[in-house]
Structure 1
Amino acid sequence: MNERRVMPDVEMTAVADDGLLLAGTLTLPEGPGPHPGVLLLHGSGPLDRDGNTRRHRLGLGADLAAALAAAGIATLRYDRRGVGATAGDWRTTGFTTTRQDAAAALRALAGRPGIRPDAIGVIGHSEGAIHAMRLAGRPGVAAVVLLAGFARPGADALRRQAQLIAGGLPAPLRRPLQALFTWYLAKVKATSTDAARVAGIPVNARWLRELLDHDPRPDLTAIHVPVLAITGDKDIQVDPADLDDINRLVPGGAETHRISDLTHLLRREPGRPSLRTYPRQLRRPVDPDLLTQITAWLTTRLHTSVKGTTA
């Protein structure tokens, strides 16, 4: 079997709407191209281009980019504002600004020499999946992959998240945790600054207020390209039942998979789902079967897009 060799990563920047440079990495397959391209969007927080923070290393970016490059698909991933080589302050960056930055990165990828503008996909994980839902309705996007994306208003999604997390705790702690979470959200909604302190803890208040008000359902109804939606049945941050709503809301339906033992961290965890298992999960790589599934699905959709267009 002939295997593609992966070319070295290329440093690439995308210009945000306010002129800030989003520093990223473009991973290319071997050969002159033009290649199909995918934009990878990570979850919330101060995440670098690979989905890592200083304390928690998800490690999704490099592994997924390598798998896609081996299948002939390029991948762009970038550092969020205030993280890695991108300037700015992530703690004052809103949910809306993050979405606008994703759109800027998408434009940069589509306009890159050697990338087929007719074969562009978007992969989003967690918050990134919510932004991918909006981008999927834009002209030029040929396919979208939603990993652990919710399909309900942000406030409802976060309340459900609190219920799922509490379910992994001892019974006496469940009700107090949910009450504390309700209090916390009310305090954040009452703020008016980009950053704030709630109970003495620094909070990206603007981002959370905008997320609470965001409803992804109109974005889902505007998608007219193939959709792959995957959530693990051990996910305690996004309700796996939202897969049914994604399938119902996307015109023509979506291909959905509720994967056994898969968690929000995209690892398999056979035991009871709990935040306490996260450190152990992060010592293992992203589930290889998941990477294979995503790569195979995108290969079919992007390599069969209209060919003959040059970047």
Structure 2
Amino acid sequence: MPDIDMTAVADDGLPLIGTLTLPAGPGPHPAVLLLHGSGRLDRDANARGLRMGLGPPLAAALAERGIAALRYDRRGVGATSGDWRATGFTDNTHDAAAALRALAARPDIRADAIGVVGHSEGAVHAMSLGSDPLVRAVVLLAGFARLGEDALRWQARMIARDLPAPVRPLLRALGSRHLARIKATGTDSARVHGLPVNARWFREMLGHDPRPGLAKIQAPVLAITGGKDIQVDPADLDEIRRLVPGEVEVHRIPDLTHLLRRDPGRPSVRAYRRLLRRPVDADLLAQVTGWLAGRLHEARLTDSR
């Protein structure tokens, strides 16, 4: 299971630096592009103070199934240069598309057997890539299927309910004012209530509607959201199932949280540090990689007939 350095060139010429994990044995191999959640995340889905650690175990599990996996550092993170705070939501979509093309162009990768796996924000970008002819399978982990502002407001309400009752109205008021200030900005980055924010990313995310992208997906789709997710409404799985025109499989997994770890207790962001000391749920990894193996290796059989 060798890891090799790989660079994908973005539309504006910026090198996106990442890791390609290859299965044992000769290629060309089926492959998957991994897209992570929001924030200043590196190729492994880690940020300062919040280490999701999704990249390595998922890439290793895929390699065991004979599938390669590419993951990369976002702009301004890790080995990729650029300014993270000036990067927009649409920039992340375009960068993902560039990484997909670079993966398909490699001689050790089968361009006719490529999938996309996205988590959280990454799942929303995967929805946009799902109509690309290069994509043969789409996995959506905790992806929302409503207007971005509606998804963010649902998340804020769920997080607030775990706070002391006197604080909840104040948080809701601050949240509304915060969003209004962001929507009024016109620059890539700005200071809102004294804090530096990626204003363009927020404006674009708040206005993004993933539903038209879902309706254009031609590849098979596996969508999974945890029953204990407090950042993405598990009810959006029904909308994904309704909108995807072709093969779609949805699962709401009891006790699974947004961090892709299980927690039998009351879902709360206060549990995140504790949950992140555990590995990514092994059953989830097996479910995702088994589904992808069935779709991507099947592509070889279909094309050879």
- Tell whether the structures are fold-level matches, with TM greater than 0.5: yes
Q: How does 1:278-293 map to 2 (within 5 A)?
A: 278-293=272-287
2:67 pairs with 1:57: no
SS in 1 for 2:230: coil
How do 1:59-78 residues align onto structure 2 when only pairs under 5 Å count? 59-78=53-72
- TM-score, normalised relative to structure 1: 0.95
CA distance in 2, matches of 1:240, 1:175: 24
Amino acid at match of 1:190: A
Where does structure 1 differ by over 4 angstroms across 4 or more consecutive aligned residues? 307-310
Counterpart in the other structure of 1:28: 22
Please, which of 93, 105, 110 is the counterpart of residue 87 of structure 2? 93
Number of the residue aligned with 1:199:
193
Asked whether 1:250 is paired with 2:250, we answer no
Shift of residue 163, structure 1, vs aligned partner: 1.2
The answer as to 2:6 corresponding to 1:12 is: yes
In structure 1, how many angstroms separate the alpha carbons of the residues matched to 2:162 and 2:294? 38
Partner residue, 2:294? 300
CA–CA distance in structure 1, aligned partners of residues 276 and 261 of structure 2: 8
Shift in Å, 1:173: 2.5
Query: 8 Å contact 2:159–2:268 — kept in the other structure?
Result: yes
Give the whole-Å Cα distance in 2 for the aligned partners of 1:175 and 1:220: 35
What SS does the corresponding residue of 1:144 show, helix, strand or coil?
A: strand
The partner residue of 1:154 within 143, 148, 151 is 148
Which residue of the other structure, out of 112, 116, 130, is the alignment partner of 1:118? Answer: 112
Question: Could you list the per-position Cα deviations for residues 154-202 of structure 1 after superposition, in whole angstroms to 9, with x for gaps in the alignment?
Answer: 1111111111112222333322222211111001001111011111111
The one-letter amino acid of 1:57's match is R
Asked if structure 2 preserves the Cα contact closer than 8 Å seen for 1:116 and 1:309, the reply is: no
Given that 1:14 and 1:23 are in contact with CA atoms closer than 8 Å, whether structure 2 keeps it comes out as: yes
The equivalences for 1:84-233 within 5 A come to: 84-233=78-227
Aligned partners of 2:219 and 2:247 also within 8 Å: no
Give the corresponding residue for 1:80: 74
- Segments of 5+ residues of structure 2 without an aligned counterpart are none
Unaligned stretches of 5+ in structure 1? Answer: 1-5
Q: 1:308/1:152 Cα in 2 relative to 1: closer, same or farther (>3 Å)?
A: closer
Q: TM-score, normalised by structure 2?
A: 0.97
Distance change >3 Å, CA 189–CA 20, structure 1 → 2: same
Identity value in percent: 71
Contact 1:263/1:269 (CA < 8 Å) preserved in 2? yes
Q: Quote the offset at 1:309 in angstroms.
A: 7.4
Shift of residue 65, structure 1, vs aligned partner: 0.1
Q: What letter corresponds to residue 186 of structure 1 in structure 2?
A: A
Deviation, 1:45, is 0.8
Report matched runs for 1:36-55 at 5 Å: 36-55=30-49
Alignment RMSD, CA only?
1.3
Alpha-carbon distance in structure 1 between the residues aligned to 2:73 and 2:122: 13
